[in-house]
Chains A and B, each alone.
Chain A
């Protein structure tokens, strides 16, 4: 039973789950690294993306790519509103106030979704879920196989923006040293807006992608947010490339535990890793230790 073919199939499943962790964690780590905000409502961005996609599919019968666009734009709007109405008034304050506030925002968004979309689980159906893709011994529907591909495109896009545009430079400058960046003329408000838009877009996109694989309920953001926090801690808080590696790593580790040991242990894997990493390498697997003055 535990053949190489089996391991490859498990690996492929792990990459699919892992790419979703990457997308959600990337936004979380950007918002933390650049703005110093711990956003516990990030899982709700994912949840809303899924609902926007499902609703658009039900009304307009769009195919996956337009749905992705609808989900991303819808969640970007929610992200910008959250930034403007909830997080901006708290700017400059204590980090704990953003933690408490984002918890409140998460509860508000969950209940809004409960009222708007109801408690019954929903699922996105596209014709692509029926088309099988076989690569050697690995088998999955086209819908699933596309998830890592689209995730890769989004990650590369974020990389290009961060590395090769002036907007990206201002974001990185803020992440390195907020006060200094401001002295050099970086517009802090603009950076906050862009960061929230990018973070929300990634989470919303992940939500649309997964809404055909996982059932969507108003509380579905809780677990994904916990997983994303795990990834962010493993990858080093604020470390973009660490989040990408750690996200894939967590997804693959979980599916291997579920496949070779038992499914009941899968959710423990990430948290056990976090405890170990915090004990041995508190700066994260890919983080650098910094001395605080």
Chain B
């Protein structure tokens, strides 16, 4: 009798071992603190991708297991979080994180452990530049700050026809790298940069900068920064009587920006990697599923979260095992056919040597309280 019991137990254990070796994927995002608005939006896209993959049976015959860490937008917290995900939770791939400086700190650790990371929103080009060319471990499924800053500058000069510009940016990696490229391109197009001003993230009062700009009369002002500060700048500009064309960086591409800015948002232009009414059919279908699940419109953050998570899941499936180096090789070489919800129709996860994906970035302008795409 006892022997039969032991046999039965061994059988059950054996069956469980064969069927359920779930893939373990880590998620690291700023879920509290200053960047939590964006972090939560990215997470909503990640969750939708996970849900859809699990509804289709997950990976290797078991639902995917995810482990989520809050990095609080702090490089110190992130280095601990990455170690915990890899050493404690034994994840084989990580999706994250949002803040570029934090991603930079985290990617060095995950590379040492040979676990690939897929960006949860970090745009600064220095993160992918930290990859060894031809041997990337950090992947970004959308263009970096170099491409985005260049496109915004080209659109400012050619589409909006503004040549006398001013730049306001935050002193983070993200804001600084965007502003640098923007300035070079405008100067290269025989434009004039009348002022470059920096501010600390979290700044609340921009009236001194904006008062100065009012005297300089720029035709356009480029803002390289996050949504909260961007909204405050545009609103306070109206308050100090500065009337000009504002162009914002990609993080301001959310409905929250329009809500916080109010009537002053009218005419605001923003570089756009994704809109709910995107001409990209994959993106449009995603936007509809997202709206059905959450009741609100998808935005650039939820779209890139969805992309990074779907790519990671698909690469793990194609690699055939939950092991960092195998997934890394798949990401680097075998994902060029995988469609993205961001970008124009036909955009795929075709990573370049530095782990970035290049696609055309559009320009959206706020009209009657809603963004609409002007160019693509």
Q: How far is the CA of A7 from the CA of B208 in the complex (A)?
A: 10
Question: Which of chain B's residues has its CB closest to A121's CB?
Answer: B228
- B274 CB, min distance to chain A CBs, angstroms: 21
Known A-B contacts A125-B262, A140-B239, A215-B228; the reply to A259 vs B208 at CB < 8 A is yes
Is B37 among interface residues, defined by CB-CB distance under 8 A? Answer: yes
A39: Cβ under 8 A from any B Cβ: no
Most buried by A among B231, B239, B263: B239
Q: How far is the CB of B193 from chain A (nearest CB, A)?
A: 15
Q: What is the distance, in angstroms, from B335's C-beta to the closest C-beta of chain A?
A: 34
B240 touching A140, Cβ below 8 Å: yes
Beta-carbon contacts under 8 Å, A107-145 to B: 119-121, 123, 125, 129-130, 132, 139-141, 144
Q: Is A13 on the interface with B (CB-CB < 8 A)?
A: yes
B375 proximal to A (CB < 8 A): no
Residues from chain A with Cβ under 8 Å of B197 in the complex: 262-263
Check if A10 sits within 8 Å of B204, measured CB to CB. Answer: no
C-alpha spacing A206/B98, complex, angstroms:
34
**Given A259-B209, A264-B199; A214-B241 close (CB under 8 Å):** no
CA distance in complex: A241, B272 (Å): 52
Most chain B C-beta atoms within 10 Å of own C-beta, residue among A13, A140, A256, A266 = A13
* A255 CB within 8 Å of chain B: yes
Chain B interface, number of residues (Cβ within 8 angstroms): 34
Q: Is B8 an interface residue (CB 8 A)?
A: no
Kindly state whether residue B207 has any CB partner on chain A within 8 Å: yes
Taking CB as reference atom, which chain B residue is nearest A210? B204
CB-nearest residue of chain B to A120? B37
Interface bin, chain A: 35 or more
Asked if B215 contacts A263 (CB within 8 A), the reply is no
**Main secondary structure on B side of the interface with A:** helix
Please determine whether A255 and B198 come into contact, CB atoms closer than 8 angstroms.
no
Q: Is the CB of B231 within 8 A of A215?
A: yes
> B208, A215: Cβ atoms under 8 Å?
no
Interface residues of B in 202-246 (CB under 8 A from A): 202-209, 211-212, 215-216, 228, 231-232, 235-236, 239-241
- Interface presence of B171 (CB below 8 A): yes
Within 58-103 of B, Cβ neighbours of A (below 8 Å) are at none
Chain B residue nearest to A119 (CB atoms) is B36
Partner of A10, one of B34, B202, B208: B208
Does A1 lie within 8 Å of B216, measured CB to CB? yes
User: Is the pair A121, B239 in contact by a Cβ cutoff of 8 Å?
Assistant: no
Q: Is B318 an interface residue (CB 8 A)?
A: no
Chain A: CB-nearest residue to B170 = A264
Contact indicator A17/B205 (Cβ below 8 Å): yes
Q: Does A6 contact B (CB under 8 A)?
A: yes
**Chain A residues, CB < 8 A from B232:** 214-215
The verdict on A283 contacting chain B, using a C-beta distance below 8 Å, is no
Residues of A within 8 A of B205 (CB): 13, 17, 213-214, 255, 258, 266
Chain A residues in 8 Å Cβ range of B199: 263-264
Partner pick for A262 among B198, B204, B206, B236, CB 8 A cutoff: B198
Q: Which of B205, B208, B240, B256: most chain A CB closer than 10 A?
A: B208
Chain B residues with CB under 8 Å of A3's CB are: 215
B32 at the interface (CB under 8 A from A): yes
With A10-B211, A119-B36, A259-B212 known as contacts, the answer to whether A264 contacts B260 (CB < 8 A) is no
B residues less than 8 Å from A5 (CB atoms): 215
B184 at the A interface (CB under 8 A): no
Given known contacts A214-B204, A263-B199, A263-B203, A6 and B241 CB-to-CB distance under 8 angstroms: no
Q: Cα distance A258–B171 when bound, in Å?
A: 15
Residue B200 interfacial (CB < 8 Å): yes
Q: Are B209 and A215 in contact (CB under 8 A)?
A: no
Bitwise interface map of B from 240 to 273 toward A, beta carbon under 8 Å scored 1, else 0 = 1100000000000000100010110000000000
Q: Are B207 and A255 in contact, with the CB atoms below 8 A?
A: yes
> CB-defined interface of B190-202 with A at 8 Å, one 1/0 digit per residue?
0000000111101
CB distance from A219 to the nearest CB of B (A): 8
* Bound: A17/B206 CA distance, A: 11
Give the contacts of B7-50 with A (CB-CB under 8 A). 32, 34, 36-37, 40
Chain B proximity of A244: nearest CB distance (Å): 20
Within 8 A of A (CB), among B154-209: 171, 197-200, 202-209
A167 interface contact, C-beta 8 A: no
Q: Which residues of B contact A213 (CB under 8 A)?
A: 204-205, 236
Query: CA separation between A125 and B259, bound complex, in Å?
Result: 11
Q: Which residues of B contact A123 (CB under 8 A)?
A: 235, 260, 262
- What chain B residues lie within 8 Å of A214 (beta carbons)? 204-205, 232
On whether the beta carbons of B231 and A258 are closer than 8 Å, the reply is no
Q: A125-B262, A259-B212 are in contact. Are A120 and B241 (CB under 8 A)?
A: no
A264 touches B204 (CB 8 A): no
Q: Which residues of A have CB within 8 Å of B208?
A: 10, 13, 255-256, 258-259, 263, 266
A101 close to B (CB within 8 Å): no
CB-based contact A139/B241 at 8 Å:
yes
Contacts A1-B215, A223-B202 supplied; 16 other A-B pairs, CB < 8 Å: A6-B211, A9-B211, A10-B208, A119-B37, A121-B260, A123-B262, A129-B239, A139-B240, A140-B240, A144-B239, A213-B205, A214-B204, A215-B260, A263-B197, A263-B199, A263-B200
Q: Top 9 nearest A-B pairs by Cβ distance? A: A259-B208, A258-B208, A214-B204, A263-B199, A13-B207, A139-B241, A1-B215, A9-B211, A255-B208
CB pairs A–B below 8 angstroms (27 shown): A1-B215, A3-B215, A6-B215, A13-B207, A13-B240, A119-B37, A120-B256, A121-B37, A121-B228, A121-B260, A125-B262, A130-B263, A139-B240, A139-B241, A140-B240, A141-B239, A144-B239, A213-B205, A215-B228, A215-B231, A215-B232, A219-B34, A259-B212, A263-B200, A266-B205, A266-B208, A267-B200
